[in-house]
Amino acid sequence: MSRIGKVPVQLPAGVKASVKGQEVFVEGSKGKLSFGILPHTSVEVEADKIVVKRDNDSAVSKAMHGTCRARIANMVKGVSEGYVKKLEIQGVGFKASVAGQVVTMILGYAHPCVYNLPAGVKVTVDDSSTKLTVEGIDKNDVGRVAAELRAFYPPEPYKGKGVRYVGEHVVHKEGKTVQ
């Protein structure tokens, strides 16, 4: 069996799960998520755990088994605790602001960088306008939004300016030398 797939997903207190047709529904204190069951897998909900099983031992079936179990585990964690990614902006005059579901960043371009947030993802900016926090219950959405915000101006290797994850190490290069 798949090492990841064979471990049942434990349901914490306050989280409910159900299977209807080819969909798994998970509901917790932070919200609800659903996931379409992958081919070659089946899902059963027991008292306090979710068990993922596979049809056969083919390579595709084994891959789907582990993936399906990991996606369900991410959903359970999301509806109970949520996911957070933190970004920081470095550079003179670089800043960010949030108005409703729109993030606007000033990153040294001739125009502001505007990003419309998807439903279920919230971004907050601290008082210094240089630290962003991306929060949500869907791990994929939170990671994708953080990556797309970072992609507006990834950290450059000479001065380190740009948008980076908190704790991300940027390797600096030496500039040109005069001969």
Domains assigned to the chain: 9-80 (3.90.930.12), 83-165 (3.90.930.12)
Rounded to two decimals, the pTM is: 0.90
The predicted pLDDT at position 2 comes to 59
C-alpha span between 19 and 67 (Å, rounded): 17
pLDDT of 1 over the 60 cut: no
C-alpha span between 85 and 165 (Å, rounded): 8
76 close to 15: Cβ distance less than 8 angstroms: yes
C-alpha span between 171 and 166 (Å, rounded): 15
Considering the chain, what percentage of its residues have pLDDT values greater than 70? 99
Q: What is the mean pLDDT of the segment spanning 13-26?
A: 93
| Helix and strand counts by DSSP (H, E) for the chain | 2, 13
Over the stretch 50-101, which tens digit does the pLDDT of each residue have?
A: 999 988 888 898 889 999 999 999 999 999 999 999 999 999 999 999 999 9
Total residues found in the chain within this entry: 179
pLDDT of 10 over the 60 cut: yes
C-alpha span between 3 and 40 (Å, rounded): 17
Over the stretch 23-59, which tens digit does the pLDDT of each residue have?
A: 999 999 999 999 999 888 999 999 899 999 988 888 8
C-alpha span between 104 and 166 (Å, rounded): 19
91: helix, coil or strand? coil
The predicted pLDDT at position 92 comes to 94
pLDDT of 174 over the 70 cut: yes
Over the stretch 112-166, which tens digit does the pLDDT of each residue have?
A: 999 999 999 999 999 999 999 999 999 999 999 999 999 999 999 999 999 999 9
Both structure tokens of 177 = 């030398």
Helix (H) or strand (E) holding 169: none
User: 2 or 103, which is more confident?
Assistant: 103
11: helix, coil or strand? coil
The predicted pLDDT at position 6 comes to 87
